[in-house]
Amino acid sequence: MLLFLPTNCYVWLQTDNSIFIGHSKRRLKDLLLQKDNRVCADCGSPEPKWASTNIGVFICLKCCGVHRSLGTHISKVLSVTLDEWSDDEIDAMVEVGGNASANSIYEAYIPEGISKPGPDASHEQRSKFIRSKYERQEFLKPSLRILSNQKKGSLKTSLSSKITDSFRSSSSSSQKSEGMVEFIGMLKVKVIKGTNLAIRDMLSSDPYVVMYLGKQKVQTTIVKSNLNPVWNEELMLSVPQDYGAVKLQVYDHDTFSADDIMGEAEIDIQPMITSAMAFGDAGMFGNMQIGKWLKSTDNALLNDSTVNIVDGKVKQEVNLKLQNVESGELELELEWIPLDQ
């Protein structure tokens, strides 16, 4: 039943006596009535009454329990009928477009042999599938594995259009050129400090850091006689359309001979750039994690490196174990700067 009030606000009364007040709640109600949202996004159970506000899907009570175990940084769960919703949370759900839109991203590449759980699935079956789908993001293309914690903006537009279209096609209107090289943005690298660096002189070293991206080269100042140097220096690199990894080397400065190398590493900037491109204007979002570069035997990471929106900026803390050297670690902070900023 719809009641019109003198203030031009209206109230929607449900059969279970839950009340939706105002235009925003009506938008959520209308979204829930869409055909694809009448079943749980993860198991197909009818009439879901819960939602993940930062993923943008409606889910049933049983799947809701698994979502809660993921943590709110991955899935923030609210009851459609019992909880208070902010306008931002409702806007995010509406802009995603519902279960079909979200599943077109999160279930785009389900491998053979993996079946989606049904309404009668066990807790273990649900947990395994949901964690694979959202936490590990195994059903996305590897290059699109970002954490969708967004509160505003369209998940479908961000992940599908902005990554597959804008990022890979790289519209010329959002790029600047220098000669024949097209740049898509700037990378600010703050070299914070080194720890337990290798000895290259009698008892110590005079370390400095050099970084390369394409034909660009930047370096820090030299810190005299220090195996645990603190730089806190910011270096800038232009990122070309066909970028690769940032190559990093640490050297010991020698006055009368060639500088000695003190280790090296590579920084994969694709997770940061992919995440930044997908979310667009970072200033529209609150502080949140939006991506991750995973530690593996193939890289120099000491631990997983998360990509975050912090005060409207896309940043990433990186801790590296220097390679091809007896000891040494390096702490960095990356920041992505789009060309229109």
pLDDT tens, 252-273?
999 989 999 999 999 999 999 9
Check residue 16 and report its DSSP letter.
Answer: T
In this structure, what is the dihedral angle of CA atoms 87, 89, 94, 96, given to the nearest 10 degrees? Answer: 150
For residue 275 the two structure tokens come to: 């995440």
Q: Containing H/E element for 106? A: helix 99-106
Q: Give the residues across from 292 on adjacent strands.
A: 306
Q: Which carries the bigger pLDDT value, residue 164 or residue 193?
A: 193
The mean per-residue pLDDT over the stretch 298-318 comes to 95
Which of 284, 338, 291, 286 shows the shortest CA–CA distance to 153? Answer: 284
Q: What value does the mean pLDDT take over residues 36-49? A: 94
Average pLDDT of the chain?
A: 82
| b/e per residue 220-253 (b: at least 16 CB within 10 A) | bebbeeebebebeeebebbbbeebeebebbbbbb
Which residue bears the tokens 């899907």?
A: 57
Mean pLDDT of 242-248: 93
pLDDT > 70? residue 324: yes
Residue 225 to residue 227: CA distance in whole angstroms:
7
Q: Report the candidate in 187, 183, 186, 262 with the shortest Cα–Cα distance to residue 222.
A: 262
Q: Which amino acid makes up residue 94?
A: V
The pLDDT of 166-187, averaged and rounded, is: 52
pTM here is: 0.51
Residue 280 gets the label, from left (phi > 0), alpha (psi -120 to 50) or beta, of: left
Q: Is the pLDDT of residue 316 over 80?
A: yes
Find the range with the poorest average confidence among 17-21, 138-142, 155-159.
Answer: 17-21
What is the amino acid identity at position 48? P
Tell me what pLDDT residue 274 has: 87
Task: List Cβ neighbours of 184 (8 Å cut-off, separation of 6 or more).
Answer: 170, 174, 175, 239, 240, 241, 243, 273, 339
> Tokens 């080269």 label which residue?
217
Query: For residues 73 and 306, is the Cβ–Cβ distance under 8 A?
Result: no
Q: For tokens 């459609």, what's the residue?
A: 80
pLDDT at residue number 23: 61
pLDDT tier at 181, thresholds 50, 70, 90? low
> 222 CB contacts (<8 Å, ≥6 apart)?
206, 207, 208, 253
Q: How deeply is 326 buried, as exposed, middle or buried, from its count of CB atoms within 10 A (0-12, 13-18, 19+)?
A: exposed
